[in-house]
Amino acid sequence: MKPKHTLKQRLRTAGVVVAGGFLLLSFIVSLGAFVLWNDGQRDRTLFFPGARTSEVSGELRRLPRLDTTREDLRLLMREIILGPTEIRHGRLVPRGTQLRSVIVRDNKAFINFSEGILFEAPEQQLALEEVLDVLRRTVRYNFREIDRVVFTINGQLPSQPFFEIESPPDPELSSRR
């Protein structure tokens, strides 16, 4: 009677089983470590001009992972307003800039700043259109799902004529004259 498996075949099979088991164990440990030590943060890249030049480069920040794209985008814009952390970067927007609102609808982002963004600071290297282009680049780089970014300043489109909705005249006041 011939043996079913030779010693060499048994050792080869055992080696494959041990290697497979080790691979499975490594996967389980890695998955467990990811779940346990995932601190709810996300890497974001913010773009800023150089401190002495207008050359734009990225700065990596770990920001908390929030519930919605709108909240994540709002945090990203606030971080840009705060300014760079690396000494080689300069400010992108003036210090007096405030974020008024952020709306995300149908893969479009609408971001409204205060008029503070219009006033160039001495340390600022870029004109308004360049600033908006860098902001747009930052949004699109970090939020691939956003197709279009619209910036407004106090609700007005930059470089457009002032738009205001006038209320209709009060008929009661008109009849008294």
Asked if residue 62 is part of any domain, the answer here is yes
Asked if residue 10 is part of any domain, the answer here is no
The tally of domains found in the chain comes to 1
Asked if residue 4 is part of any domain, the answer here is no
Rounded distance, CA 109 to CA 154, Å?
A: 16
Asked if residue 174 is part of any domain, the answer here is no
Give me the pLDDT at residue 110, please: 98
Q: Containing domain of residue 136, as a range?
A: 41-153
Asked if residue 9 is part of any domain, the answer here is no
Show pLDDT as tens, one digit a residue, over the chain (177 residues): 555 667 777 777 878 888 888 888 888 877 776 666 666 899 999 999 998 888 999 999 999 999 999 999 999 999 999 999 999 999 999 988 999 999 999 999 999 999 999 886 666 678 899 999 999 999 999 999 999 999 999 998 887 666 566 666 666 665 555
Asked if residue 59 is part of any domain, the answer here is yes
Can you give 62-120 as a three-state secondary structure string? EEECCCCHHHHHHHHHHHHHHCCCCCCECCCCCCCCCEEEEEEECCEEEEEECHHHHCC
Give me the pLDDT at residue 105, please: 96
Asked if residue 65 is part of any domain, the answer here is yes
Rounded distance, CA 50 to CA 129, Å?
A: 17
Asked if residue 139 is part of any domain, the answer here is yes
